[in-house]
């Protein structure tokens, strides 16, 4: 139900071997403190994709507000360091809300050493 991929837009190739972590927000206190639970963790493959980010039987569970908040963290620093390239962002976090657990949620990330773009894909 939740997938992602990374494209290195500065080189025009997939971002391979980037660590990716997916979490769900379990709670948010009045003081702004949030609690997150890891639901998936993997590395992008040679095509920049994470086919096993969550298990095939993973079910999206909505909270009392009929939604769920997720956070994907892409650890980009190591990727650029291995290319001998300095980068501005040590990691990129994308936080998104799911209201319909029956839909597919695809989160692409386009990266370069000094910028990134993300969107809801299909």
DSSP 82-121: HTT---S-S-EEEEEEES-TTS-EEEEEEEETTEEEE--B
Question: Is the per-residue pLDDT at 29 higher than 90?
Answer: no
Q: What is the pLDDT of residue 98?
A: 93
Question: Is the per-residue pLDDT at 1 higher than 90?
Answer: no
Q: Which domain, by its residues, includes 17?
A: 2-118
Q: How many domains does the chain have?
A: 1
Mean pLDDT of 97-105: 91
Specify the pTM: 0.92
Q: Is the separation of the CB atoms in 60 and 67 below 8 Å?
A: no
Q: Which residue has the tokens 């990374």?
A: 6
Question: Is the per-residue pLDDT at 75 higher than 80?
Answer: yes
39 confidence band (pLDDT: 50, 70, 90): very high
Residues 6+ apart with CB under 8 A from 28: 34, 35
Question: Is the per-residue pLDDT at 92 higher than 80?
Answer: yes
Query: What radius of gyration do the chain's Cα atoms show?
Result: 15
Q: Which residue has the tokens 């909270």?
A: 63
Q: Is the separation of the CB atoms in 78 and 52 below 8 Å?
A: no
**What CATH number is associated with residue 59?**
2.60.40.180
Q: What is the pLDDT of residue 63?
A: 80
Question: Is the per-residue pLDDT at 32 higher than 80?
Answer: no
Question: What span, in angstroms and rounded, lies between the C-alpha atoms of 91 and 81?
Answer: 12
Question: Is the per-residue pLDDT at 31 higher than 80?
Answer: no
């Amino acid at each position: 139900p939740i997938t992602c991929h990374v494209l290195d837009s500065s080189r025009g190739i997939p971002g391979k071997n980037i660590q990716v972590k997916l979490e769900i927000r379990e709670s948010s206190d009045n003081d702004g403190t949030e609690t997150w639970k890891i639901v998936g963790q993997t590395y992008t493959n040679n095509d920049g994709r994470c086919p096993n980010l969550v298990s095939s039987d993973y079910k999206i569970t909505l909270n009392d507000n009929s939604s769920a908040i997720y956070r994907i963290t892409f650890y980009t620093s190591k990727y650029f360091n291995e290319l001998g390239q300095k980068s501005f962002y040590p990691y990129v976090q994308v936080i998104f809300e799911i209201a319909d657990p029956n839909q597919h949620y695809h989160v692409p990330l386009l990266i370069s050493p000094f910028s990134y773009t993300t969107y809801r894909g299909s």
